[in-house]
Amino acid sequence: MNFCRNRDNPSDRPTALSRRWGFFHWVIPVILLLVGAAFPLCLVGCAGSSPEQCSDPGGVGFSAPEDSLGIEEFLALESVRRQSRRAQADVWLDRSRNSPKANDRIQALANAAGLAPDDPEIWLRLAKIWRWLGNNLRTEACLNNAAAAVRKLGRKESDLLDRSKRYKKDAALRTAILRAWLHYDRAEYHEGLRWAKAATQVEPGNELALQVKGVLVASLGHRSHAQEIADDIRRSRGFKTDSAWILSNLERSWGRHREAFNYFLNLRPNEEHASECFRDMGLAAERVAEWSYARRWYRESAAELPFKDTSCVVEITHERLDWRPRSSQQPVWMAFGRYYVTGSRSAYTAYVLERFDQATTPDEKDLWGGLLVNSAGICIRLNEDKPWALRARGIVFARTGKEDRGLEDLRRAAKRLKDLGVEDARVTAEMGHLILIDEQPRRAIPHLRRAVELDPGNAGAWSDLGLALIMTGGGPEAERALTTSIELDPDSATAWYNRGLMNLHANNLDQAEADLLKAAELAPENREVAKLLQRIAQKRK
């Protein structure tokens, strides 16, 4: 990745990992900086000019060489072999610096890391790139490898004896700061603050550590501490925008969104992490429905991204999760057509839900479902369109085998939406569906009846209602519900199956056979359909 600004100065985040440290003291991250474990790296992405071109999970693959090794395996090699691999890694590092295309730079760094995994500099470069490209899991893996490599520095077999104690300290510092920013990106403020404090333990007074510590403390609502940091920055570096950023985050954490927005008026971030500051400015504008400000500041955030080659980053405009406000379409920038880079987090989450609903293969469902759960979780922690984020996450959980978690999210979403005066047909239908598959048809029926009242065109809800009525003995009404479902969606194997089951129980064998044959045509792999057809044949004998 080409960086526009010099970010190599030593003073300078799966689907969603959130660590829970319990009662442990915050200095533990300092220790962990030096004891990370090595992970094999396989980098996946693609380049293109539109989300559709980049979204194929089976696209261009980035992977380390076949002979990639973990750090301990690498250090166990004979010196001659280590030196040979390190020389090859240096060639790939040169290519990564000189390649104009982001894809080539990522591939080159992946090759270098696989050849010489004990060099923390390679892992830190990869971590920085993947954080900017929005892949939290790869960022985390790279930072774990960087921490492991830092721990190995100084061993005689490392062949990196020119790396001084100062370099080791700087590498540990940069690892901690990157971890803090990764958790900040994900609105995991407690975890981020632990790493920010770890960074200040490595080097007290470091400006970049103080910067990320300030925005994290403010985001947690620690008023006196946040104001103290903002005052210190204002006194020592009055030209910096950090103090306004910190105070705005503080107001946001206390729910004072207009005051948070006002701090950003006439602010022009122009230093390290300006892109993140503009992103937070856009979020503050969204909170108070200042849509034009939000769009302008998100575009400023994209302009401040440290990329020269933007071929792997695409821009879209999409409705936000909460579609009710006027002029709510907002821009989003994605890497490889899938990973959030900057822009409206709400609009990105709504886009990912749309792609999940459109997915036609299990791999696509897994890809977009994982991205949705991750992004909706960030929205929930940010309290950004929280009822709608709970709705989106509940839908994905419901459709990916996590029924209990889905029902919990949907119930929370329904309650919060009701407080807003909204009754959502899909939430009601999904809740009815989950209660039905939990074999509680009587409890499911009121939800499903209400769902078809709110949205008479929901074929799935009509089918679920028909099945629930079959299970409770409501024959004529069940037939009407299933027939309506079939009329709305003639390709629904489930509706044909359910009506065939109903007719079989009513001993209407001809109609049952016709319905089940249609279900078998639509779902030839379904064994239950074949079993019912065999039962019909036996009844006729």
* Residue 13, in any domain of the structure: yes
CATH number for the domain spanning 235: value is: 1.25.40
Residue 185 C-alpha from the chain's centroid: 10
Q: Give the ranges where 438-508 is alpha helix by DSSP (H).
A: 441-454, 459-471, 475-488, 493-505
Q: Are residues 260 and 117 part of one domain?
A: no
Last residue of a domain, one of 159, 186, 213: 186
Give the Cα separation of 106 and 46 in Å (integer).
11
Q: Are residues 330 and 233 part of one domain?
A: no
| 159: its two tokens | 């062949």
3-state SS, residue 218 = helix
- Kind and range of the H or E element at 44? strand 42-44
Exposure on the CB side of residue 26, measured as CA atoms within 13 A: 14
Q: Are residues 282 and 136 part of one domain?
A: no
| 462: its two tokens | 């009509």
Q: Range of 254's domain?
A: 205-296
* Residue 152, in any domain of the structure: yes
Q: Tell me, what's the pLDDT at 270? A: 72
| 15: its two tokens | 């689907």
* Number of residues in the chain: 541
Give the Cα separation of 261 and 275 in Å (integer).
17
Q: Are residues 285 and 312 part of one domain?
A: no
- State the residue for tokens 């519900």: 481
Q: Are 33 and 53 in contact (CB under 8 A)?
A: no
* Residue 428, in any domain of the structure: no
Strands 42-44 and 313-318: unpaired
Residue 45 C-alpha from the chain's centroid: 15
Q: Tell me, what's the pLDDT at 159? A: 74
- Evaluate the CA torsion angle 6, 11, 14, 15 in order and state its sign: negative
Q: What whole-number percentage of the chain has pLDDT above 70? A: 87
| CB-based burial label for 522 (10 Å; 0-12, 13-18, 19+) | middle
Q: Are residues 332 and 389 part of one domain?
A: yes
Q: Are residues 117 and 16 part of one domain?
A: yes
Q: Tell me, what's the pLDDT at 304? A: 93
Q: Tell me, what's the pLDDT at 66? A: 55
* Residue 431, in any domain of the structure: no
Ranges under pLDDT 50 in the chain: 1-62
Q: Are residues 342 and 382 part of one domain?
A: yes
Q: Are 317 and 330 in contact (CB under 8 A)?
A: yes
* Residue 436, in any domain of the structure: no
CATH number for the domain spanning 508: value is: 1.25.40.10
Dihedral (Cα; 479, 484, 489, 493), 10-degree rounding:
-10
3-state SS, residue 43 = strand
Q: Tell me, what's the pLDDT at 176? A: 97
Last residue of a domain, one of 376, 410, 444: 410
User: In 221-338, which ranges are E strands?
Assistant: 313-318, 330-335
CA angle 193, 198, 202 (to 5 degrees): 145
In this structure, what are the phi and psi dihedrals at residue 208, rounded to the nearest 5 degrees? -70, -35
Q: Tell me, what's the pLDDT at 214? A: 95
Q: Are residues 320 and 279 part of one domain?
A: no
| CB-based burial label for 312 (10 Å; 0-12, 13-18, 19+) | buried
Q: Are 315 and 9 in contact (CB under 8 A)?
A: no
Q: Are 482 and 502 in contact (CB under 8 A)?
A: yes
- Kind and range of the H or E element at 62? strand 61-63
Task: Supply the angle between the helices 459-471 and 425-437 in degrees, to the nearest 10.
Answer: 30
Q: Count structural domains, the chain.
A: 4
Q: Give the ranges where 165-303 is alpha helix by DSSP (H).
A: 165-185, 189-202, 207-219, 223-236, 242-253, 257-264, 274-287, 291-303
* Residue 535, in any domain of the structure: yes
Q: Are residues 234 and 151 part of one domain?
A: no
pTM of the model: 0.85
Backbone dihedral region for residue 113 (phi beyond 0: left; psi -120 to 50: alpha; all else: beta): alpha
User: In 231-368, which ranges are E strands?
Assistant: 313-318, 330-335, 339-343
Q: Tell me, what's the pLDDT at 51? A: 43
Q: Are residues 140 and 91 part of one domain?
A: yes
Fill in the amino acid letter for 315. E
* Residue 192, in any domain of the structure: no
* Residue 322, in any domain of the structure: yes
Last residue of a domain, one of 186, 220, 250: 186
Q: Are residues 160 and 73 part of one domain?
A: yes
End-to-end CA distance of the chain: 72
Q: Are residues 41 and 147 part of one domain?
A: yes
